[in-house]
Structure 1
Amino acid sequence: MRSIRPSSTARRGGRTRRTSPVLTAVALASALALTATACESGDTDASAETSATAAADDGKLKIPDDIKDRLKEHGIDLDKWKNGAWKDWSKDDWLREAQDYVNPIIEGLWDPDRMRDAEEPDQEVDESDISGDQGVTDPTPEPVRAEAIAPSYHANAPTAGKVFFDSPEGTMVCSATVVQDPANPGKSNMVWTAGHCVHAGKKGGWYRNIAFVPSYNDAGKSAKELETATKEEVAPYGVWWGDWAQTSDQWIEQGGSTGGDGASYDFAVIHVTPEKDGDGKSLEETVGSALPVDFDAPAVPEVEEITAIGYPAAPPYDGQALYNCQDEPGRLSLSASDPTMYRIGCSMTAGSSGGGWVATGSDGKPALVSNTSIGPVTSGWLAGPRLGDEAKGVYDAVSGKFAGQ
């Protein structure tokens, strides 16, 4: 999660996060400590060593012609990329614009150890993270303790999974949801997550090696048991690489690594393809389910209950188990000029960002209506964007790009 922290927070391994003064938010009637719930990162050096080995061992790099052309346009050498050049995050080489997304498959990069070791990243605090011009905000919800979803996760939450990716800070992780593709009914390869799980926002570009693992740790093994687990046990339905991703223009231009900047537009859609050639089945066919997305969800006062799902990774959680929270939503407005967000009571922490929020849609059936974006450092509540025209535009664009495929 992206955060504004009123005091220093100890990290695992004795590290500490940098802090900022408490910021007054008039409409919230208190100082908010916002954190982008989601992303956890591992040690940069360790992940680099692992990935370089994975890329070099099999010498395979699946690169479609259109990606080759885009890499060439930006002066990126394919052989160097395969052998670790993707770890160069210099400003000139970090692709930023919406049309510049490239994500070549490096087979074997996401092994069980690399997935398991993704942890919370160090994040800075910016006093501009909360605007002083607040809109309508309801009282802070009472905390709701997240409930563990019983394994198998595929049986009880088949559309849920994890998104893994590399950033300048190291190996990172978010949560995500398999969603329907209107251009390919019953055969969707589309995944919904948060914008900050694919793009760094106003001060950065697209993250790299983005991959989705549905039903991660499906059997609900403990962290200790996962140390000796096979890849098939960790990722029983495969690793699916993002061959295209799209987020809102507002997130790219406004999004910040901490706090509420761009949070009302913090959503993204990833189109995926299997890491290894499989049986020709789509992601939806493989997991057996995909959620519809409702862009006409009722206003907050008319929504009786929302369920948020994710893999929280910051203490007291460890990122290896799937949880959910159910609560009646309230309104959270960070800026009078931006759409009001949903907010629910929930104890889930970093690692759950991007996870789907499910409610009864406008047709009376369960549908995805939001995703986890921000929450307080101390946990207790989560907030997600209300999906409107901008979100539908992103969704339709990704669907249309792969129509008929």
Structure 2
Amino acid sequence: MRFPHRRYHLLAVTGLVATLALTATACESDDRGTGDDTGAASSRTADRDGDGIPDVLADRLEEHGVDVGGWKNGGWKDWDRDKWLHEAKEFVNPVIEGLWDAERMRGAGDPGKTVAAQDASAERGVSDPVPAPVEARAEKTPYHEHAGPVGKIFFDSPEGAMVCSGTVVSDVNHPGESNLVWTAGHCVHAGGEGGWYRNIVFVPSYNDLSRSEEELAEGAPDAEIAPFGQWWADWAATSDEWIAGGSEEGGAGAPYDYAVLHVRPETGETSLEETVGAALDMDFSAPSASEAATMGAWGYPAAPPYNGLTMCRCIDRPGRLSLDPSLPTMYRIGCTMTGGSSGGGWFRMVGGEPRLVSNTSIGPADNTWLAGPQLGEAARALYDEMSTTYGDR
């Protein structure tokens, strides 16, 4: 199936050979390299109208017949395929204040629309045996103390409001001041048959105390629903392979199903990392499954028996999943998380420190395992481009 749906000690996990303690630490490096083409970067981010849409993108939108001025006033609801922005440089997501209120967030992501079947029998190539299911466990509350960098992603699609999961990651060019969020490609772009989703917002530590639907409906304070506020993606990047070959079942784009967002607060100026108090470092070494003794996946599963209101985790020893001999091998772990957990980070320990090594992408119809892409040099290049070009916006 597809799954769009202050420092703290965080993501502490037990149950394996030893305790896997994922403790977030801000990057201490003073290397603030900004790349060799700062003039080009400035031209790509210039915004003469102050509407949150870079000038170069506004011009491209007009070429596509999109009324930039009317976008915030409901023009984004037009999903005409001829105007559904598809190309990598056509992402647009201006802030629409108040759009994602508590009720709209709570109602996002009908699991019947966010989950599509992935036939596990279609596996070809070299795969390890199917792992035994690992029952997802609820993260400790309050989330902001135990797993602050993990959050929920909300976005609009032609089928309505949807949900995914994501993680605050460090920015090597802006240590301690990151505005980057790692997630799955299918949480931001529909793949070969569609384009960029709209109104993409990241909410770290969503529903901080894991309130029930009834409690939320009665009215929970904003400080509990979104303890760190709402963060709008002002730029997004995913792999060319996902844009060209991704599908509702993953398709040939599944091994490349990753994305990085650059976000800004709906109100205020402080960076995401400073606000949350932590960010996770990336691991682009693409270790083999045998090298990574343990991996842990975090996210907000939304399809039954879950409801998208509770942050969960699974820990397991990864194996290999090969969908086709011509495609890169994916990681696979046992896990019962369902739709909505997509994009949630996978972590492993490197030198005693946590590193984000993958993200949830696909799983079977019976919700017994999850698979995620290996993050190698192509993923690193995507991350570096986002950091260099948009990191200081």
Which TM-score applies when normalising by structure 1? Answer: 0.81
Say whether 1:85 aligns with 2:75.
Answer: yes
What residue in structure 1 maps to residue 254 of structure 2? 263
What residue in structure 1 maps to residue 376 of structure 2? 388
What residue in structure 2 maps to residue 282 of structure 1? 271
C-alpha contact (below 8 Å) 2:124/2:324 kept by paired residues: yes
What one-letter code is carried by the residue in structure 2 that aligns with 1:265?
A: Y
What one-letter code is carried by the residue in structure 2 that aligns with 1:233?
A: E
Q: CA deviation at 1:258?
A: 1.9
Q: CA deviation at 1:82?
A: 2.2
Secondary structure in 1 matching 2:177: coil
Deviations 1:319-355 (A, max 9, x none): 0010000000110000111111110001111110000
Q: 2:263 aligns with which of 249, 264, 272?
A: 272
What residue in structure 2 maps to residue 63 of structure 1? 52
What residue in structure 1 maps to residue 344 of structure 2? 355
Q: 2:244 aligns with which of 248, 253, 262?
A: 253
Secondary structure in 2 matching 1:115: helix
Secondary structure in 1 matching 2:214: helix
**Which has the higher mean CA deviation after the structures are superposed, 294-303 or 107-116?**
294-303
**How do 1:4-403 residues align onto structure 2 when only pairs under 5 Å count?**
35-39=1-5, 62-66=51-55, 67-118=57-108, 119-122=110-113, 134-227=124-217, 228-276=219-267, 278=268, 280-361=269-350, 363-403=351-391
C-alpha contact (below 8 Å) 1:125/1:259 kept by paired residues: no
Secondary structure in 2 matching 1:171: strand
Secondary structure in 2 matching 1:36: coil
What one-letter code is carried by the residue in structure 2 that aligns with 1:325?
A: C
Secondary structure in 2 matching 1:331: strand
What residue in structure 1 maps to residue 13 of structure 2? none
C-alpha RMSD over aligned residues: 2.0
Distance of 2:70 and 2:270 partners within structure 1 = 32
**Which has the higher mean CA deviation after the structures are superposed, 222-231 or 304-313?**
222-231
C-alpha contact (below 8 Å) 2:4/2:162 kept by paired residues: no
C-alpha contact (below 8 Å) 1:38/1:349 kept by paired residues: no
Q: CA deviation at 1:70?
A: 4.0
Q: Which runs of 5+ in 2 are unaligned?
A: 6-49
Distance of 1:359 and 1:322 partners within structure 2 = 18
Q: CA deviation at 1:83?
A: 2.2
What one-letter code is carried by the residue in structure 2 that aligns with 1:182?
A: V
Q: CA deviation at 1:79?
A: 3.8
Distance of 1:254 and 1:370 partners within structure 2 = 19
Distance of 2:305 and 2:391 partners within structure 1 = 43
Q: CA deviation at 1:85?
A: 1.5
The percentage of aligned residue pairs carrying the same residue is: 57
Secondary structure in 2 matching 1:237: coil
What residue in structure 2 maps to residue 4 of structure 1? none
Distance of 1:130 and 1:93 partners within structure 2 = 35
C-alpha contact (below 8 Å) 1:111/1:231 kept by paired residues: no
Which TM-score applies when normalising by structure 2? Answer: 0.84
What one-letter code is carried by the residue in structure 2 that aligns with 1:283?
A: L
Secondary structure in 1 matching 2:111: coil
What one-letter code is carried by the residue in structure 1 that aligns with 2:230?
A: V
Q: CA deviation at 1:123?
A: 6.7
Change (3 A) 1:203 1:184: same
Aligned length, in residue pairs:
346
What one-letter code is carried by the residue in structure 2 that aligns with 1:376?
A: P
Q: CA deviation at 1:232?
A: 3.2
Q: CA deviation at 1:73?
A: 3.5
Q: CA deviation at 1:158?
A: 1.2
Q: CA deviation at 1:75?
A: 2.6
Change (3 A) 1:225 1:132: closer
C-alpha contact (below 8 Å) 1:159/1:215 kept by paired residues: yes
Q: Which runs of 5+ in 1 are unaligned?
A: 1-34, 40-60
Distance of 2:214 and 2:230 partners within structure 1 = 22
Q: CA deviation at 1:368?
A: 0.2
What one-letter code is carried by the residue in structure 2 that aligns with 1:204?
A: G
Change (3 A) 1:290 1:329: same
What one-letter code is carried by the residue in structure 2 that aligns with 1:111?
A: D
